[in-house]
């Protein structure tokens, strides 16, 4: 694949649940504009209202609604056939009648789920739905009058704001860590998980195995993200799903048990003057790229919406619905915001000529999720 020639670094991204549900995602395409990413620490956050106890106040407000989720499933190891593999993660209650949000990888394939509250009560959980493309799941327990979290607005986050994580790392229930928002809008390819349909929050609040699915809070104790992954071998590089995105997915899971994601069926990479010559020398790509800015299509899936609309390997996407694009995550966001079956106007440069196409996004194939 041409994409293999574009790999610049290898990052080990670990999903932060414990035991059976732990996974490692492999290599990724390094961002070509890495030097332009946001600084890890943009400012020193102010203590709100000069309240030196604001972290404990935030935890008092939200902590009772943070839960431990134990799950078990049949082992996938040939040497352990017939045995049950177990995993532990975190979650938080969003409705007092027992709706709990967590990561999909915490409960994926689970044959049983147990939810334990901070006060020690245990409930059997039923997975209402999970979405692997965003790593969001909703679990239902039979209970009423439960404590719930308050939700913040992740669209308003800025690097340098306070961040507080609560979860059950390595089995240590109700562990609290604090740091800052280190960055926002981190693309899935930047953090080594190119198949995820999420722009992540980056934080240096300590996140460890077992924190998966737990809340990331702002200084007021509102949930602004769902902790989901760390980069192995690094310190202070944790990632959370923005709560606005997670809530959007959760609403669909509650309503119908699944989520339909629009998709085109293309593999893309960012095009820059630095990598254009390398791409043009690639026999696997097989075309000569005439421009040095845009989003290069390096492969098109057979019988996909992109193939049916006439998109080709070597096309450089310049604009989607009239909006210019320079990065693959911008194309992905535009597709994700479209409607399945509607026309998506895409402008490409093909061998030096501008070509305009109308693509009808299809539903992301379930078999590939």
Distance CA 245, CA 343 (A): 24
Examine the residue annotation and report whether 28 is marked as an active-site residue of this protein: no
Of the candidates 17, 71, 90, 135, the residue annotated as catalytic is: 135
Using alpha carbons, select from 225, 222, 243 the residue that is nearest to residue 61: 222
Cα distances (angstroms) measured from residue 287 to each of 40, 277, 325, 353, 355: 38, 11, 21, 14, 16
What 3 state SS string does 68-81 have?
A: EEEEEEECCCHHHC
Q: Counting beta carbons within 10 angstroms of the beta carbon of residue 322, is it exposed (0 to 12), middle (13 to 18) or buried (19 or more)?
A: exposed
Query: Are 89 and 212 a contacting pair, CB within 8 Å?
Result: yes
Examine the residue annotation and report whether 212 is marked as an active-site residue of this protein: yes
Distance CA 8, CA 280 (A): 17
Strand partners, 9: 28
Distance CA 3, CA 28 (A): 9
Using alpha carbons, select from 165, 176, 159, 152 the residue that is nearest to residue 224: 152
Of the candidates 14, 72, 90, 105, the residue annotated as catalytic is: 105
Of the candidates 189, 212, 304, 328, the residue annotated as catalytic is: 212
Count Cβ atoms below 10 Å from residue 74 Cβ, excluding itself. Answer: 15
Examine the residue annotation and report whether 135 is marked as an active-site residue of this protein: yes
Contacts of 249 (CB under 8 A, 6+ apart): 131, 134, 136, 259
Distance CA 229, CA 23 (A): 10
Q: Catalytic site residues?
A: 105, 135, 212
């Amino acid at each position: 694949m041409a994409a293999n020639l574009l790999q610049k670094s290898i990052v080990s991204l670990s999903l932060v649940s414990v035991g059976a549900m732990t996974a490692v995602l492999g290599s990724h395409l390094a961002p070509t504009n890495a030097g332009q990413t946001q600084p890890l620490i943009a400012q020193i956050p102010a203590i709100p209202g000069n309240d030196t106890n604001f972290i404990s106040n935030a935890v008092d407000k939200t902590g009772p609604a943070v839960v431990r989720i134990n799950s078990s499933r049949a082992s996938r190891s040939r040497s352990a056939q017939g045995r049950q593999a177990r995993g532990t993660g975190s979650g938080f209650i969003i409705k007092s009648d027992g709706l709990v949000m967590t990561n999909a990888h915490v409960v994926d394939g689970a044959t049983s789920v147990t939810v334990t509250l901070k006060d020690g009560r245990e409930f059997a959980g039923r997975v209402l739905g999970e979405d692997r493309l965003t790593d969001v799941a909703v679990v239902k327990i039979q209970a009423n009058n439960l404590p719930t979290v308050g939700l913040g607005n992740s669209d308003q986050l800025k690097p340098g704001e306070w961040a507080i994580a609560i979860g059950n790392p390595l089995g240590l229930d109700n562990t609290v860590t604090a740091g800052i928002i280190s960055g926002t809008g981190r693309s899935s390819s930047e953090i080594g998980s190119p198949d995820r349909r999420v722009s992540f929050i980056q934080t240096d609040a300590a996140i460890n195995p077992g924190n998966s699915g737990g809340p990331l809070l702002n200084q007021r104790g509102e949930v602004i993200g769902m902790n989901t992954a760390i980069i192995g071998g690094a310190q202070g590089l944790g990632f959370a799903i923005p709560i606005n995105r997670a809530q959007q997915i959760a609403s669909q899971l509650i309503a119908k048990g699944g989520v339909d994601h629009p998709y085109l069926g293309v593999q893309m990479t960012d095009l820059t003057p630095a990598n254009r010559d390398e791409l043009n020398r690639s026999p696997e790509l097989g075309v000569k790229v005439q421009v040095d800015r845009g989003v290069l299509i390096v492969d098109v899936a057979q019988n996909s919406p992109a193939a049916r609309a006439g998109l080709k390997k070597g096309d450089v996407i310049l604009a989607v619905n009239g909006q210019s694009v320079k990065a693959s995550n911008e194309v992905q966001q535009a597709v994700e915001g479209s409607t399945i079956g509607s026309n998506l106007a895409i402008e490409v440069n093909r061998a030096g000529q501008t070509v305009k196409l109308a693509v009808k996004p299809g539903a992301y194939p379930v078999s590939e999720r």
